Amino acid sequence: MAKFDVTYEIVTHESAAEGEAEERGFVAEGVSLREAYKLVGCYALEADCWPVHGPRWFTNFEYDEDFRTGARESRSLHLPNHLTEASRMRIARLLGVVK
């Protein structure tokens, strides 16, 4: 069974002004696709490449926003290296990155 990783990045107004993230790291490592899909928010806005061909990860830039502080959290679903191109594209369709 393939194992997926999910990472996060939090950007604040202050960190954005410096061109950096305030915080980043792993949400989960070695989880199932079903769990990774839920942890990334069940959709993504883009892949690591365009046009999408052999993607390695997908990112949801709108995962969460703290309206009090302006901090925004994005999450990325990282694919295992051994997945086929066809499987990668099925996941891209599942996440809504391609039609």
Model confidence over 28-86: pLDDT tens digits? 999 999 999 999 999 999 999 999 999 999 999 999 999 999 999 999 999 999 999 99
pLDDT band at 2 (very low <50, low <70, confident <90, very high): confident
pLDDT reported for residue 1: 75
> Whose structure tokens read 């051994």?
82
Instruction: Count CB atoms within 10 A of the CB of residue 74.
Output: 22
Using a CB cutoff of 8 Å and minimum separation of 24, what contacts does 34-39 make?
35/4, 36/4, 36/5, 36/6, 36/77, 37/77, 37/94, 37/95, 39/6, 39/75, 39/77
pLDDT reported for residue 38: 98
Domain spans of the chain, in order of start? 4-95
The token pair that represents 56 in the structure block: 């390695």
pLDDT reported for residue 61: 94
pLDDT over 80 at 20, yes or no: yes
